[in-house]
Amino acid sequence: MADSVSIAQVLLFVASGALLYLIMKMIKRNQQSVIADNAPVIAGSDELGGQAKDPAQFNEPDDGALDEMGDLLASAAEAQGIEYEED
């Protein structure tokens, strides 16, 4: 009777040790992946893909964009207490 209880305790101890080992291994793997994912990006090592479909559209702004920029400047000047005068 004592032999079967001792064998069961040893088996449970070994199983607990194996589970502890696996958990520690998973923790280390997760830490490595978090470190790799959150590493700072070194300038030049990242590549941004794609370009504007029609880059020439940015050479000359349209009237709507100019009016919107004027409104933004006027509201920013008003918020700072400055009088904004359009030319």
pLDDT in tens, 44-64: 776 767 777 787 877 888 888
Is it the case that residue 86 has pLDDT exceeding 80?
A: no
Does the pTM surpass 0.95? The reply is no
Q: Give dist(CA 62, CA 81) in Å, integer.
A: 29
Residue 14's pLDDT is what? 97
Cβ-based burial of 74 (10 A; exposed 0-12, middle 13-18, buried ≥19): middle
Q: Are 84 and 74 in contact (CB under 8 A)?
A: yes
Cα→Cα distances 61→8, 56, 71, Å? 81, 10, 15
* Tokens matching residue 6: 């001792």
Instruction: Give the model confidence (pLDDT) of 10-56 as tens digits.
Output: 999 999 999 999 999 999 999 999 998 888 877 777 676 777 778 78
Q: Where are the domains of the chain?
A: 1-38
